[in-house]
């Protein structure tokens, strides 16, 4: 298990102000980001997601949009959870509270996400084929169905975070 006390042990992804998106690697070339016609782009579709999470079609599958606010986000595989940094004095202060936050979370309704394999988390404004040129993180997921749920938690004084948990439910 990664020691969260080691500064920089976790990779964080930031956006330029809009939502982050986790797109299956196999359909990255189909995501145009903010590029598109004058009336609607893939980025516009991601921005239309209300609440903490939502799914949007990409190619022959769907991508997970992390909505609400453009918080720095990391994936902690030991918890199967995207952690969204809303407030904390340090990375360690935030990450040390994750177990407590997971226990205290009041989860929003789940969405079902069929995933063909690994996903890439990055700023939804970028085209998928350019995701490696910006903040991004690759998240290893086995192909299958996942239940995704989200919560906003304040587990301690001046420590606030969003949680997006991805749990495998079937093949």
The whole-chain average pLDDT of the chain stands at 90
At residue 3, the pLDDT reads: 43
In tens, the pLDDT along 124-155 reads 999 999 888 888 999 999 999 999 999 999 99
pLDDT in tens, 112-125: 999 999 999 999 99
pTM: 0.91
49 DSSP β-pair partners: none
Domain limits of the chain? 20-170
Residue in this structure with the two tokens 């935030």, named with its chain if needed:
94
The mean per-residue pLDDT over the stretch 17-21 comes to 91
Give one DSSP letter per residue of 98-114, joined into a string: HHHHHHH--PPPPEEEE
Give the Cα separation of 88 and 170 in Å (integer).
35
For the chain, how big is the Rg over CA atoms in Å? 15
């Amino acid at each position: 298990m990664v020691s969260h006390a080691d500064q920089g042990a976790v990779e964080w992804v930031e956006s330029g102000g809009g939502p982050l998106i986790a797109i299956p690697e196999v359909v990255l070339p189909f995501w145009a980001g903010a590029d598109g016609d004058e009336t609607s782009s893939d980025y516009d579709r991601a921005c239309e997601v209300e609440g903490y999470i939502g799914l949007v079609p990409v190619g022959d599958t769907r991508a997970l949009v992390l909505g609400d606010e453009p918080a720095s986000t990391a994936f902690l595989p030991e918890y199967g959870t995207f952690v969204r940094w809303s407030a904390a004095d340090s990375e360690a202060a935030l990450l040390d509270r994750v177990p407590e936050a997971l226990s205290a979370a009041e989860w929003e309704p789940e969405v079902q996400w069929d995933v063909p394999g690994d996903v890439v988390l990055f700023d939804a404004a970028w085209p998928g084929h350019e995701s490696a040129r910006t903040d991004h993180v690759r998240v290893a997921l086995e192909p299958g169905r996942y239940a995704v749920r989200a919560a906003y938690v304040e587990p301690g004084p001046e420590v606030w975070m969003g949680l997006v948990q991805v749990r495998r439910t079937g093949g």
